[in-house]
A and B are shown apart, each in its own frame.
Chain A
Amino acid sequence: MPGDETAEQLLPLLVIIPIFAAAVLIAVGQRLPGRLVGAVTLIVVGLVGVGDTAALIITWHRRIVSWLGGWRPGRGGSGVGIAFQADQLSAGLILLAAGLMIVALAFSWHYFQTPGSHFHALMLFFLAGMTGFALAGDIFTMFVFFELMGVAAYALTGLKVEDPSAVQGAINFGIVNSVAAYLSLIGIGMVYARTGELNLAELSRSLAGDHSPFVVIAFVLLCIGFLVKAAVVPFHFWLDDAHAVAPTPVCVLFSGVMVELGLYGVLRVYQVSFADTAVADGIGRLLLVLGIATAAVGAVMCLLQRHLKRLLAYSTIAHMGMFLVALSTGDPESLAGIMLFVLGHAAVKGALFLCAGILLDRFGSIDEFTLWGAGRRLRGWDGIGVRSIFGLAALGLAGLPPFAAGLGKSLAETAMSEAGAGWGPAFMIIVSALTGGAVLRVWLRVVVGAGSEPEGIEAEGMSGDEEQMEVDVGEDIPNRMIISAGVLVAIGCGLGLVPSISAGVTAAAARFLDTHGYVAAVLHGRIGYPRAAAPAPPGWDLHGLLLSGLTMAAACAVAALAVLRPRLPGGQRPSRVVRTPVRLLRRMHSGRVGDYVVWLLIGVGVTAAMLAPG
């Protein structure tokens, strides 16, 4: 165990090392061969991953608080410097980001033939932005790293310069996220004007007990940027456009960790600074209503998509809805379940995106109908690999027992039913079944080739045929692509089996909700955790297994119904009562940035109305 000071001193290096490496790559990248640039990037991200793991191990026993430049606050308790704070949740998130990036870089080893190291430098900037955002203990520093994450993500989204398909997905993503960041900055200005402080712990002290409507408005404006990044309805429109055009390895990071960081931002700001204010009595209602709306829109749109990447993007939106609903109860058990669910979802969703990328590079299209029966045309080990990984990941997403996503879902379900939300488990099962069913439907049609050859069924929505191959792999799919997808599925399954993970997650949840512990650690240096009974690691119980089995059955039913619908009597035309709302929902996702900004404005009003006291 390193001395108690070294961890504090080295914590900021987790942000500085990737930026240093990116700067060096920009300077000399043109002259280095592509293979060396990729290797250097992988080594640097690996180094950051090792640092994150060390931070996670240390935060198992105490928090790490690092005041930049030695500007520790004086006796009066309010300082001028910036604080970094790492506890188990933030260390786990940055480790997840580094791990997903290692797999994404391994998958895209020879992706961009163009000279220069822009892709790798931007990925390192993206990692530094995510790490800095998760560690920041200062609302303006969170804004700066939110912008760094954004700028790197806009460039990575639009990187396929040759791609004739929906390249304006990057501009929608850029404009909507920037508008949200500026509204957050207005919120930061308001909080600063009222309290004269920017540090989260200091804000917690000066906002304690403040029940004026101002606090509610400041919280809403401050969290708009994070809610947009978390793709919560009505701010979610940019996510599917960005996924439709972004290269596959970037999509893995978007759905795996960037969207979850938005949710982390909301929770951290609320839990530390606004937990003892007028926001506290409205937050449960807000998360519940936004969660249900997000899950509903995500699940329905997920069933309507034929473009694989957009389908997976809507599945991520549906899962964000489930996370919000489970977190609305506000007790540690549901937070622990959601943490495990996020880890499992990131691994399994990443594997699905990689499989979609493999199909795109092998067959030149990512459209469900064009790829009908494509899985069978894959020969030998490639075919077996893709078919099994795609199937396992689809089942894992729907909550197959050994997978971490399934365990997280069942923990959240039991927590919600104990917290009095009896309808909770039913809601989670329905949404998981719908999204899992959609992905299983794709598995049946694309990989197994079930159902009739779809000719002439010109379903609406964006077809995936325009999408251009990212790298032409020809007949033989490179092994590194299949291995990286397999590794992600294995991680998704492993996380669910290792008991110490679920024990750590339960402890992390309790420590995240401990506001006084955070303030004492940051301001007064008391970084130890309060003595808490070592909780028995929650695992699979009969109740959980039963619910998971029910979810699996429902998901398979949805998939089978969707595939066999044309043959069923009268199954051709869905009834009018279904078609009109679906058409309305489809027209709302217009792909036009002006509409998205209008929805964002309406969202600001709706969020404030829901949080308004009384």
Chain B
Amino acid sequence: MSRRVRMILLVVGLLGAVTVLAVGVSGLPAFGGHHHPYRDLAVAASLRHATANVVSAVNFDQRALDTFGEETILVASVAGVAALLRPVRRERRRRRPDVPVMDSTRLLTAVFFPVTLLIGIDVMAHGAITPGGGFQGGVVLATGIHLLYVGGRYRLLERMRPLPLFEITEAAGLVIFIAIGAAGLAVAGHVFTNILPQGQLGRLISSGTVVLLSGAVGMAVVSSVVILLAGFLDQALALEEVPDTDQDSDGAEEAAR
């Protein structure tokens, strides 16, 4: 379709979509209303299981299957990205001369690196009490590790995060999540049942399996995000298209990891 025809059709489509959304939105209750029946049930169920952070209760206790599906989507996309970006015959790994890093940056990252790791672990551990949880803590930890690249050299980052280890911890996170679910099945007859004693609201050890599931999700997310970023960093920094002229065979072996 020529550009002009596409513009006309786009406008027509937009008009249709706007009317559809307008009629739909007009049927909704006004913004900020007080009628939230699911919320009342969810808050009651969360307090019954002594979970202070109701969002974590919904995520890891009441609708645990959605979180399980969400983690599987992340692990599947990591496997997909690894499959799509695997080095191909015409690519060769090259040793890049390292960009000099200012001392101040190096100092800042040396300070921030441990702080970020602590924040990440804290956010993940207190998932059931304060805002945060396995997922947020995991992403904070994963981005924290990459401070090494900002402050140091790419090879330092590569040494500090051995990818095979992270592939194992990623799969281990998912397997532990399933193990806790299966324990719920074995003990109480339903997958993902909250079988541990729930303890007292607001304490560190409360809300039973929510903390454990949050930890498992955190482990899976840390490794997934690290492998994702490693895949993209590897593509942008380390792999180089071998010009077709010198199609040397050893380049191919070196490219295959």
Contacts and interface: CB of A to CB of B under 8 A. Distances in A.
Interface of A: 5, 9, 12-13, 16, 19-20, 22-24, 26-27, 30, 66-71, 78-82, 114-116, 118-119, 121-122, 125, 128, 132, 140-141, 144-145, 147-148, 151-152, 154-155, 158-159, 161-162, 186, 190, 192-194, 196-198, 212-215, 217-218, 220-221, 587-588, 590, 592, 594-595, 598-602, 604-606, 608-609
Interface in B7-35: 9-10, 12-17, 19-21, 23-29, 35
B119 interface: no
A78 B37 contact: yes
B10 A598 contact: yes
A46 to B, nearest CB: 20
Contact of B80 (A27, A145, A151, A609): A151
Contact of B1 (A158, A162, A588, A602): A588
A146 to B, nearest CB: 10
Report which residue of A16, A69, A158, A215 has the largest number of chain B beta carbons within 10 angstroms of its beta carbon.
A69
A493 to B, nearest CB: 35
A145 B191 contact: no
A604 B184 contact: no
B175 A162 contact: no
Given A68-B192, A151-B77, A594 B6 contact: yes
Interface in B38-93: 38-39, 41-42, 45, 58, 61-66, 68-70, 72-73, 75-77, 79-84, 86, 88-89
A498 B148 CA distance: 65
Nearest to B74: A151
A197 B37 contact: yes
B76 A196 contact: no
The 7 closest A-B pairs by CB, nearest first: A605-B16, A214-B27, A155-B80, A601-B13, A27-B171, A118-B83, A217-B24
A128 B72 contact: yes
A23 B75 contact: yes
Given A80-B63, A116-B86, A151-B80, A193 B38 contact: no
Given A16-B181, A162-B88, A602-B9, A68 B70 contact: no
A80 B41 CA distance: 7
Interface of B: 1, 6, 9-10, 12-17, 19-21, 23-29, 35-39, 41-42, 45, 58, 61-66, 68-70, 72-73, 75-77, 79-84, 86, 88-89, 164, 167-168, 170-172, 174-175, 178, 181-182, 184-185, 188-194, 256
B28 A190 contact: yes
Contacts of B16: 601-602, 604-606, 608-609
Contacts of A140: 63, 66
A246 to B, nearest CB: 13
Contact of A595 (B6, B77, B175, B190): B6
Contacts of A186: 21, 24
A27 B82 CA distance: 13
Residue among A115, A122, A151 with the highest chain B CB neighbour number at 10 A: A151
A163 to B, nearest CB: 11
A575 B61 CA distance: 66
B167 A27 contact: yes
A24 B176 CA distance: 11
B254 to A, nearest CB: 15
Contacts of B26: 214
Nearest to B8: A598
Nearest to A74: B41
Given A148-B73, A602-B12, A220 B79 contact: no
A68 B184 CA distance: 10
Nearest to B85: A161
A221 B25 CA distance: 12
B171 A159 contact: no
A70 B62 CA distance: 9
B29 A194 contact: yes
A604 B6 contact: no
Contacts of A155: 76-77, 79-81, 83-84
Nearest to A31: B164
